[in-house]
């Protein structure tokens, strides 16, 4: 996890950042917050920014924690005794975990200043754990603050929600994810395509850095590069790589999504909508391919891919249907339909 300042956080989640900055400026903080939103939207980073700002001994302009004081450094090292972090042990957050935290909170802290507890995946509290937590929410200690994180807002107990201020985190802008991938030294083409696959910031970075996923990424233009060439075979090439495609659900989903994006790009090419093409280094190759086939054929093939994607959502991995898809693509391009 990276430790954000408000400027950076503001770029990812402008609404939430502004609300938090205002609360600090006006000294109007709630005792309990729920940070709610899809995975990979910087909720945990925001919780730590909140904790740092609360405990920082010399907050700077823009409400930023100084990052150099004793408290800031201890929080970054994960050793500040006033910051508690609770995450599910196994499937659920256990009631014992909540009780242990409450017992800690009832003791005098070794450090001065407010105490903050961060509950990750708060929806994983079953009734018993949630009810134990509820008591502390109802009677918060003077200087005790809760930040509960969830990507399943609707699964939270209503009694918990009603005692907290809810902050809604939005999916992160594609352009920002792309910029971050570029900053990490990821190739521009991969950096443009991955945000089309996921707007989960953490997943995007993980996928971009995975050699296996990079290999699948390279396979897509390679496969299409064989289209329309009687000397090469998309079908045979796919058979060579199919084991890596069907390793697990995520790899299959990733491969299929990339395939769909490339096919969509072909359609954009055919319709001269070049500004919408994500796989931009391949425009020349795509233009040639798109000229071999009709718009209708491109759309039909795209339909077949989207149908596979729907089935994949229901956990149906039909590897035979993938083989058939490549047979269909090869025939289409080779016979210039
Ligand atoms: Zn500080």
The CA 110 to ligand 1 mean position distance, Å, reads 18
The CA 64 to ligand 1 mean position distance, Å, reads 8
The CA 67 to ligand 1 mean position distance, Å, reads 5
The CA 138 to ligand 1 mean position distance, Å, reads 30
Percent with pLDDT over 90 in the chain: 82
The CA 24 to ligand 1 mean position distance, Å, reads 15
Q: Tell me which residue has tokens 């729907």.
A: 310
Check residues 97 and 317 and name the one with the higher pLDDT: 97
The CA 69 to ligand 1 mean position distance, Å, reads 4
DSSP string, 112-155: -S-EEEEETTGGGB-HHHHHHHHHHHHS--TTEEEEEEES-GGG
Each residue of 210-237: pLDDT tens digit? 999 999 999 999 999 999 888 999 999 9
The Cα–Cα gap between 72 and 49 comes to: 10
The CA 188 to ligand 1 mean position distance, Å, reads 36
The CA 285 to ligand 1 mean position distance, Å, reads 54
Over residues 61-73, mean pLDDT: 95
With contact defined as beta carbons under 8 Å apart, do 147 and 119 qualify?
Answer: yes
Q: Across the beta sheet with 83-86, what order do the strands follow?
A: 83-86, 115-119, 144-150, 32-36, 165-168
Percent with pLDDT over 70 in the chain: 99
The Cα–Cα gap between 195 and 218 comes to: 16
The CA 57 to ligand 1 mean position distance, Å, reads 5
The CA 77 to ligand 1 mean position distance, Å, reads 13
Residue 337 is predicted with a pLDDT of 52
The CA 83 to ligand 1 mean position distance, Å, reads 14
The Cα–Cα gap between 286 and 284 comes to: 5
Each residue of 276-301: pLDDT tens digit? 999 988 999 999 999 999 999 999 99
Residue 61 is predicted with a pLDDT of 87
Q: Which two tokens stand for residue 43?
A: 């909720």
């Amino acid at each position: 996890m990276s430790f954000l300042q408000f400027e950076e956080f503001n770029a990812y989640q402008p609404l939430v950042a502004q609300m938090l900055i205002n609360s600090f400026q006006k000294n109007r903080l709630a005792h309990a917050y729920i940070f709610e939103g899809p995975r990979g939207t910087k909720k945990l980073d925001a919780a730590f920014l909140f904790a740092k700002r609360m405990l920082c001994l010399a907050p700077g302009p823009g409400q930023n924690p100084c990052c150099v004081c004793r408290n800031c450094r201890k929080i970054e090292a994960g050793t500040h005794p006033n910051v508690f972090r609770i995450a599910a042990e196994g499937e659920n957050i256990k009631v014992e975990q909540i009780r242990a935290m409450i017992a800690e909170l009832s003791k005098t802290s070794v450090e001065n200043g407010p105490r903050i507890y961060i509950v990750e995946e708060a929806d994983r509290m079953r009734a018993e754990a949630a009810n134990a937590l509820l008591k502390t929410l109802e009677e918060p200690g003077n200087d005790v603050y809760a930040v509960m994180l969830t990507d399943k807002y609707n699964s939270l107990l209503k009694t918990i929600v009603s005692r907290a201020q809810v902050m809604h985190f939005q999916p992160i802008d594609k352009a920002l994810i792309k910029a971050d991938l570029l900053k990490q030294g990821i190739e521009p083409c991969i950096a443009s395509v991955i945000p089309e696959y996921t707007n989960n910031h953490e997943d995007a970075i993980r996928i971009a850095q995975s050699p296996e996923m990079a290999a699948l990424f390279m396979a897509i233009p390679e496969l299409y590069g064989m289209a329309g060439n009687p000397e090469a075979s998309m079908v045979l090439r796919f058979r060579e790589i199919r084991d890596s495609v069907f390793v697990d659900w995520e790899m299959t989903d990733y491969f299929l999504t990339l395939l769909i994006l490339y096919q969509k790009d072909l359609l954009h090419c055919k319709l001269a909508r070049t500004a919408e093409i994500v796989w931009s280094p391949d425009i020349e190759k795509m233009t040639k391919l798109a000229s071999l086939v009709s718009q209708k054929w491109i759309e039909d093939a795209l339909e077949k891919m989207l149908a596979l994607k729907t089935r994949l959502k229901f956990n149906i991995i039909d590897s035979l249907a993938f083989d058939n898809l490549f047979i269909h693509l090869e025939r289409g391009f080779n016979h210039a339909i």
